[in-house]
Amino acid sequence: MVAVKVRNLTKFYGELKAIDRISFEIEEGEIFGLIGPNGAGKTTTLRILATILSPTEGDVNIFGFNLKTESEKIREIISYLPEEAGAYKSLTGLDYLDFMASLYAKDFSEKEKFLKNAIEIADLKDRIKDKIGSYSKGMVRKLLLARSLMHFPKLAILDEPTSGLDVINSIEIRKIIKEFTKHGTTVLLSSHNMLEVEFLSDRIALINKGKILIQGKPDELKKDFNARNIEEVFMEAVKE
């Protein structure tokens, strides 16, 4: 089943065309990576799919719901983790997750279920009871990812999920994302770290200056361009 259909999506900021008639599809249960340099249009695309921004032109369909007319229904089945997301430093990790679970849940029983899920995802051990202000950047990112995934969204939209993290924390975040697709969650993620997204994603789209250059499975793209990695693919695709 196709989870996400994007057709001729365009976004202007004044006279600046941030994204230019891009189209792609995401299959249910897969990880789809949107890769490109800073300013390529990745975050704008994700914000539109997360119903935060309105497109100038084009159509988006998410699990059968039209973005323009059914945005409320889309918000019920997705989660969005921005690159610049933060958490309340004066709260403990546990209190923060408890608060977020209460926003997602319909009743107390569901809230307790979501909270349990989040604690397991974050895997902060006893540090979950410490204030967030004492956390490292990697711990905060795991907490925020747990917040985004606790309710098992049908689509998780993750913007630069490992931005600024060291190798160990990045690997842990990748494992969490990979594991979650086994529960049926579809993932759309963006990154300028092409090697990371190549490792994580079932399929990718390379975007530059608001346009999608190429898309497909990483191994197939590397074969088509006789490249060792997606960075080399990108450099060749930009030339064309």
Residues 143-169: pLDDT tens digits?
Answer: 999 999 999 999 999 998 887 788 888
Which pLDDT does position 53 carry in this prediction?
96
Residue 217 has pLDDT above 80, yes or no: yes
- In whole angstroms, how far apart are CA 67 and each of 22, 46, 49, 63? 15, 13, 8, 10
Which pLDDT does position 197 carry in this prediction?
85
Shared domain for 141 and 228, answered yes or no, is: no
Shared domain for 43 and 15, answered yes or no, is: yes
Domain boundary among 107, 126, 152: 152
Contacts of 138 (CB under 8 A, 6+ apart): 165, 166, 168, 169, 172, 173
Output the six-digit token pair for 130: 């410490």
Which pLDDT does position 238 carry in this prediction?
85
- CA 200 to the chain's CA centroid: 12
* CA quadruple 99, 103, 107, 112: dihedral sign: negative
- Element spanning 208, H or E: strand 203-208
Chain segment 20-34, per-residue pLDDT in tens? 999 999 999 999 999
CATH number at residue 38: 3.40.50.300
Radius of gyration of the chain (CA): 18
Shared domain for 29 and 56, answered yes or no, is: yes
pLDDT above 90: percentage of residues in the chain: 74
Shared domain for 8 and 67, answered yes or no, is: yes
Shared domain for 145 and 175, answered yes or no, is: no
Residue 41, phi then psi, degrees to nearest 5: 115, 5
Shared domain for 119 and 183, answered yes or no, is: no
Residue 40 and residue 38: Cα distance in Å, rounded?
6
pLDDT-wise least confident of 7-16, 35-44, 63-72: 35-44
Domain boundary among 119, 134, 152: 152
Shared domain for 127 and 137, answered yes or no, is: yes
Which pLDDT does position 43 carry in this prediction?
93
Sheet order of strands, 16-27 included: 16-27, 2-13, 57-62, 65-66
Residue 80 confidence class, pLDDT cut points 50, 70, 90: very high
141 burial via Cβ count (<10 Å: 0-12, 13-18, 19+): buried
Domain that holds residue 45: 2-77+153-239
pLDDT-wise least confident of 80-89, 120-129, 185-194, 195-204: 80-89
Domain boundary among 119, 152, 185: 152
Specify the higher pLDDT residue, 30 or 198. Answer: 30
Residue 130 has pLDDT above 80, yes or no: yes
Residue 214 confidence class, pLDDT cut points 50, 70, 90: very high
Residue 208 and residue 230: Cα distance in Å, rounded?
14
Output the six-digit token pair for 54: 């309105």
Shared domain for 167 and 73, answered yes or no, is: yes
User: DSSP 3-state assignment of 78?
Assistant: strand
Shared domain for 139 and 164, answered yes or no, is: no
- In whole angstroms, how far apart are CA 62 and each of 95, 171, 186, 191? 32, 29, 11, 21
Contacts of 93 (CB under 8 A, 6+ apart): 122, 124, 127, 128, 129, 130, 132, 135, 139, 143
Residue 101 and residue 114: Cα distance in Å, rounded?
6
Residue 27 and residue 29: Cα distance in Å, rounded?
6
Shared domain for 234 and 158, answered yes or no, is: yes
Residue 65 confidence class, pLDDT cut points 50, 70, 90: very high
Q: How many domains does the chain have?
A: 2
Residue 132 has pLDDT above 80, yes or no: yes
182 burial via Cβ count (<10 Å: 0-12, 13-18, 19+): exposed
* Residue 232 one-letter amino acid: E
Shared domain for 71 and 114, answered yes or no, is: no
Shared domain for 7 and 46, answered yes or no, is: yes
